[in-house]
Structure 1
Amino acid sequence: MSMLQRLLPRRSPTSTDASPADAAGLAAVLGPAAIQNTPRYLRVGDGYAATLIVTGYPAVVGPAWLDPLLAWPGRLDVVVYIDPLAPTVAAARLRKQRARLESNRRTDSDKGRLVDPITEAAADDAAELADRIARGHSKLFRVGLYLCVHAAGLDELDDAVAHVRATAASVLLDTQPATWRQLQGWTATLPLATDGLEMRRVMDTDAIASAFPLASADLPAPLPGEPGATGGMLYGLNPDSNGVVWWDRWAQDNANSVVLARSGAGKSYFVKLEVLRSLADNVHVAVIDPDNEYIRLADAVGGVTIALGAGGVRLNPLDIPPGDLRPQARTYRALFLHTLISVLLGQQPPPSERAALDKAINDAYDQAGISNDPNTWHRQAPLLRDVATALNNQSTDAADTLAARLTPWTTGSFRELFDGPTTTVPSGQLVCWSTRQLADELRAPGMLLALDAIWREVDTPAVHSADTPRRLVVVDEAWTLLRDGEGAKFLSRLSKSARKRRAGLAVITQDVGDLLGSDLGQVVIANAATQILLRQAPQAIDLVADAFGLTGGEARILLTSRRGEGLLISGAHRVGFQAVAHKREHQLCIGDLELPNDE
């Protein structure tokens, strides 16, 4: 910079140098494109707004007296201005009020009139309040309460204003429209801390405190101008506000869910309702059913039931899906067989046995004429007993030991499930995999085989598009699989991979400790955008409260809730609900379980 430039006065910026925010103010940049001010409403951008002033209050207010307004099903801004009164001003005002009330009482007495109960009650309240303020137990505040109603059209705005005024009247709150002052009312309801209406009422500490918490018990409604939900289903009714709990798992970050409840809390009933309503929404559903609870429902809607453990029903874990043309398809089958054998043995084999197993799997495929060439995958896949034969042919201690450990499932008592080609290919919009007829030693492997068969159908190599059907995989009594390390790993991998394949995983369990007490169980919860908590056992409530960040009140709700009542948790959204069903839905869902008539 030259000396001359330093000596000359700095030129003030011209209008061409100023930014739009400097020239027109920040409101012109961040505010709506236009505002039309009328006596009874404002047109703000593409929407409409009308402000109501609360002018009358009941003599006595109960806890959460603002809750009906906060839970109103629509866009309603509830704004409270609270300014403290200085103790000297509060005391002076109370003295004047008490003197006025006492004068009225004496005038009535001198003239022989009957005692006015309203004046008597007001005098007693004023005396009690003055005593509390003098002792420092309470303070006075100037309170303004304004309601700003939003709507997309004028007719909708008129209906909404009438509905809001009726809701306010139900809790004895008198409201008046801010006629000719709608602009001041609208700005008063913005987060600007500017009250252009100045319609205040003096309240004490107890009255203000009873208005909290300032939160709605319902899920947030879409803003004006935003499209409403096009999907989802009815989960139930909100017992706190009598509102409708409508939820779309497919609109969340992922479509996974977990349902945790003690035995008899109604979790299977709730899941059956969701399955029925998902079918109506064109979702393909596959259910792992350990207790034959879904067979009646499947029969009623034309679904398919596959009873694992029944005579002649077999699943070959070495089958390569016919539609899978990926070069790694044979490798994926080999890796799954490693997981299955770990579940069969109850633990992962040592490294030497795993190496022998891997070689035996490849030898069995080679013997069957199946290579990494997709053109060979139409041939008959080898069986588990062929893998055992390949182990014996290796003539090593590790291979012989592993072959001997697999004897019960290849040639022994538990071979029926694996001893032959796959007999049933699942198809249909609802497929129910029943594992009740399996022996306890085969329950976890059977569930794993069913999940694998479901996943082979979901994990198709075709490009997933909007035409690909959404699929919901329901794993009931998941503790059977979660108590096994390899089974829990498989379930956690499904929870991570389902989102990319237009699929959702629903995990239901009554043994909360199995899900929350392991790292893999925590992974399943972390990857579930929808979390349903029904009634919990006192022994597990602390663990559940810590895992889901429940408040003390929410924990008490889960301890005392009735059958079918619970909490829906998804991120910052938390709402209570009571499952409700149509009479026909109820008949299909109850099975042998009798529920209250209101469900």
Structure 2
Amino acid sequence: MNKTKPIKEKKEKQEKTTKPVRLPRSVQQLIPVKRVFPDSIWQVGNNEFSQTWSFSDINYAVASLDDQRTILDSWGRVLNGLAADSRMKVTLVNSIFDKEANAGTLFLRKQHDGMDKYRAELNQVIMSKAQGSNGIVQQKFMTLTAKRKNIADARQFFGRAGKSLSIGMQRLASSIRLQDNSSRFRILHDFFRPDHRMTKADLDEMIARGQNIADVFCPLALRYHKDYIQTDQGFMRVLFIEEFASRLSDELIHDLMGLPRQMMLSMDIEPVNTQEAHKLLNGLALRVESDIGRWQQRQNNNNNFSAEIPYEFQQMRKVVADYMDDITEHDQRLMLTTITIVHSAKTLEQLNADTESLQEIASGFGCNLTKLAYQQDIGLDTVLPYGLRSVQQQRTLITDNVSILTPFSAQEIQQMGGICYGNNAVSGNLIVANRANLLNGNCIRLGVSGAGKSFSVKQEIAYVLLSTRDDVLVLDPEGEFTPMVGAFGGSMIDISGSSAVRINALDMEKGYADDGKDPLPDKSEFVLSLFEQIMQDDLKAQHRSIIDRCVQAVYRPYIASGYKGDAPTLTNLQAEIKRQPEPEAQELALAAELFISGSLSIFAQKTNVDQNNRLTSYNILDLGEQLLPMGMLVILESIYNRVIQNWRAGRRTWVFVDEFSIFFRYPFATNFFLRMWKQVRKRAGYMTGITQNVGEMLTSKDACWMLANSEFLIMLSQSASDRAALAELLNISDTQLSYVENADPGCGLMKFGGAFIPFVNSFPEDTELYKLMTTKPADREQVKPHGV
């Protein structure tokens, strides 16, 4: 009786504390969210609250070893900044590329304008790139969970924690964005119901209707089996890493998420209070020493007084000592870590095959990835970004060990309303970039001859013409754009010394200067750049003063009339120069005679050609060496006037300037080009400079400044000397630089914003667009000429 009494008392006590199990009567009741607040804080347990942020990826995979160490160190600082009474869940979400969802943005709709055959070809090219990649779009989230007495305390915590996270991630060149309720619902909806489009989720309306918030995202059916889950969409399975390798790899997370399946991986990180960490390690040290002591006592009892301590005991002692040293001396913290994965498939056979693939990947890194038996429900609650951790298995790691399990891999660019620029060479995903998202949407394209510069430009032009109402203007010194311009119904303006085309170099639209300022200083600088081409080193300070004086004189009546009537011409300017009393004025008039009243006077008279076609290309292939530098300046000035016209009419303009390095040979031409580079952006335009003469550009301080400060660079194959110079100027790592060494045509390295992204961009040769865009002589011979 006495022996059974304590057992009975223990049993009665257990009965009092055991909670009854409530069987769910609907799928909604399986969702472990107790309450949703308007500021996107969720209550997910007894006094447990969570909030979720998305974060952008960074280019860890292609960074140098030193940069990778810096990234891991900065990520470790973020983890060390976690409050001891909180938990972070880092979640990576793979979803399948959805053609239908992108139909209105990435793919081009029919316009019934005679160009739909090209739209169909371009759509097929984009789709093949999407299918040729892993077909996966990856998103990254971090969810913080904390126990607080009430929502007010929770709000205070998340306010502080969000600011701390933002600062820490900025050090990594990553940005975070708080997910509102609709965004959090969408994460769950897109996982549970990938083939369904989520309806608008208005929390106030749902509350007013008495609707369960789980209705927005939960599956229609959910059934748990021993080691998998069955839904109305198919099957899914939750796995967890039961055993970690003794040496963790920074490629583990990346390779697990590289499987092209709809899946989600979460890493729960729970920092241990420093005092508790010391207590835990001291306890472990005592247990290790106790085990060693008992082992030695057994050896002594067997008269084996010289026996060495077994290796495993020595290792345990060393690990505990190292951990103690790390948290005491090296700013490390103990962190309880759990990694869970859920992946889905249409059939159970495919699910099993995918599970084996994931387990093989984990095994290759010395980790044991195991199915959760009879715990699929708590596993699902753990891996989804609710903020819960219901799986009890945890591994004790220090900060450095956790940070090596980096969630960073390759920065992706997949922006709404963007243009497809190929595939990310690291992840295989589509690169969809929208210049409007940059502070300065201008672009520079660099590459050796044959690297594919003009072909890549033509791809962009085709996309702009076929998907927008924007205008496209091209300065073409090589005559490479003629077939495409003809096929797209554009105007090809052939300019040469013998042609009848005339373009007035002094045309000036209203709005030429910024914010209503006096336009004459800018126009004077342009005219000085023209005379710089004519006189070169003979242009003296006296000449410049006379030019400036005469420019003001010939423009005053035109500006006073409100820019009505005919703009002055170089002929008018020459006459005004001749009226000046200084002998230097006569030098100017004589030096400019060939280009104003002589045989090369094509830019000295009124414009006699229509430049208003939506696609206009200025072909200056036959302009001649003497007129080429001056001609490029005049045409660029004419293009700028067109940009102003479009800007005033509310139309965007794309400007493409081939071999723009010519402008950096002369100081005034450089100043003119840089001014236009800045002002086109302010007038709803995007400018693109294209050149193979990288070495020539790098000898100019102004060109180096422009390269170093450009937000959008496309670097194709580069020569060895240019690679070295660009690497130093742009701080490109050796790994990144390898992508522009003997690269295939159209492939290389892209800088977009602050990210460097290696890319590949092939184009099928059996298409009409390829025949229009190619510059290979053998391919161009097959192209039938179009009327221009």
TM-score over 0.5 (shorter chain): yes
**What's the CA shift for 1:486?**
1.9
**What's the counterpart of residue 484 of structure 1?**
666
**What's the CA shift for 1:269?**
1.3
**What's the CA shift for 1:590?**
0.9
Q: 1:163 and 1:565, CA in 2 relative to 1: closer, same or farther beyond 3 A?
A: farther
Contact 2:525-2:672 within 8 A present in 1 as well = no
**What's the counterpart of residue 181 of structure 1?**
378
Give the counterpart letter for 2:772 in structure 1.
L
Could you tell me the TM-score, scaled by structure 2's length? 0.55
Give the counterpart letter for 1:294 in structure 2.
F
**What's the CA shift for 1:399?**
0.9
- For residue 616 of structure 2, the aligned residue among 431, 446, 450 is 431
Contact 1:218-1:243 within 8 A present in 2 as well = no
**What's the CA shift for 1:396?**
1.5
CA distance, structure 2, for counterparts of residue 129 and residue 406 of structure 1: 91
**What's the counterpart of residue 267 of structure 2?**
79
Deviates more, 1:340-349 or 1:550-559: 340-349
CA distance, structure 2, for counterparts of residue 166 and residue 584 of structure 1: 44
**What's the CA shift for 1:424?**
1.3
Give the counterpart letter for 1:278 in structure 2.
V
Give the counterpart letter for 1:472 in structure 2.
W
Residue 401 of structure 1 aligns to a residue in which SS?
Answer: helix
**What's the CA shift for 1:212?**
6.6
**What's the counterpart of residue 526 of structure 2?**
336
**What's the counterpart of residue 393 of structure 2?**
199
Give the counterpart letter for 1:317 in structure 2.
A
Alignment of 1:560-599 (within 5 A): 560-582=742-764, 583-592=767-776
Give the counterpart letter for 1:373 in structure 2.
A
Q: Does 1:346 align with 2:536?
A: yes
Deviates more, 1:355-364 or 1:397-406: 355-364
**What's the counterpart of residue 476 of structure 2?**
289
CA distance, structure 2, for counterparts of residue 28 and residue 338 of structure 1: 57
**What's the counterpart of residue 388 of structure 1?**
574
Give the counterpart letter for 1:243 in structure 2.
N
**What's the counterpart of residue 273 of structure 1?**
459
Q: Does 1:456 align with 2:641?
A: yes
Alignment of 1:514-529 (within 5 A): 514-526=696-708, 528-529=710-711
Contact 1:68-1:167 within 8 A present in 2 as well = no
Q: 1:262 and 1:390, CA in 2 relative to 1: closer, same or farther beyond 3 A?
A: same
Q: Does 1:318 align with 2:509?
A: no
For residues 563-594 of structure 1, give each alpha carbon's deviation from its aligned partner in whole angstroms, at most 9, with x where no partner exists.
Answer: 22112212333322111335232222113357
**What's the counterpart of residue 428 of structure 2?**
242
Q: 1:304 and 1:24, CA in 2 relative to 1: closer, same or farther beyond 3 A?
A: closer
Residue 376 of structure 2 aligns to a residue in which SS?
Answer: coil
Deviates more, 1:450-459 or 1:404-413: 404-413
Identity fraction in percent: 21
**What's the CA shift for 1:219?**
0.6
Contact 1:296-1:591 within 8 A present in 2 as well = no
Give the counterpart letter for 2:723 in structure 1.
I
What CA RMSD, in Å, does the superposition of the two structures yield over aligned residues? 5.1
Contact 1:81-1:144 within 8 A present in 2 as well = yes
Count residues in correspondence. 516
**What's the CA shift for 1:261?**
1.6
CA distance, structure 2, for counterparts of residue 487 and residue 72 of structure 1: 53
Residue 721 of structure 2 aligns to a residue in which SS?
Answer: coil
Deviates more, 1:210-219 or 1:578-587: 210-219
CA distance, structure 2, for counterparts of residue 549 and residue 376 of structure 1: 47
Contact 1:285-1:473 within 8 A present in 2 as well = yes
Q: Does 1:402 align with 2:595?
A: no
Contact 1:187-1:196 within 8 A present in 2 as well = no
Give the counterpart letter for 2:689 in structure 1.
V
CA distance, structure 2, for counterparts of residue 304 and residue 22 of structure 1: 66
For residues 384-433 of structure 1, give each alpha carbon's deviation from its aligned partner in whole angstroms, at most 9, with x where no partner exists.
Answer: 233223222223222122222223322445x2322432121312221111
Q: 1:339 and 1:67, CA in 2 relative to 1: closer, same or farther beyond 3 A?
A: same
Q: 1:25 and 1:331, CA in 2 relative to 1: closer, same or farther beyond 3 A?
A: closer
Contact 2:477-2:620 within 8 A present in 1 as well = yes
**What's the CA shift for 1:544?**
0.8
- For residue 408 of structure 2, the aligned residue among 215, 220, 239 is 215
**What's the counterpart of residue 494 of structure 2?**
307
**What's the CA shift for 1:54?**
3.1
Residue 268 of structure 1 aligns to a residue in which SS?
Answer: helix
CA distance, structure 2, for counterparts of residue 319 and residue 485 of structure 1: 22
Residue 441 of structure 1 aligns to a residue in which SS?
Answer: coil
Q: Mind listing any 5+ residue stretches in structure 1 that lack a counterpart? A: 1-17, 94-127, 222-228
Q: Does 1:470 align with 2:643?
A: no
Give the counterpart letter for 1:340 in structure 2.
L
Give the counterpart letter for 2:641 in structure 1.
R
Q: Mind listing any 5+ residue stretches in structure 2 that lack a counterpart? A: 1-148, 163-178, 193-211, 220-235, 272-276, 292-310, 324-333, 364-368, 780-788
**What's the CA shift for 1:232?**
1.1
Q: Does 1:445 align with 2:642?
A: no
Contact 1:481-1:487 within 8 A present in 2 as well = yes
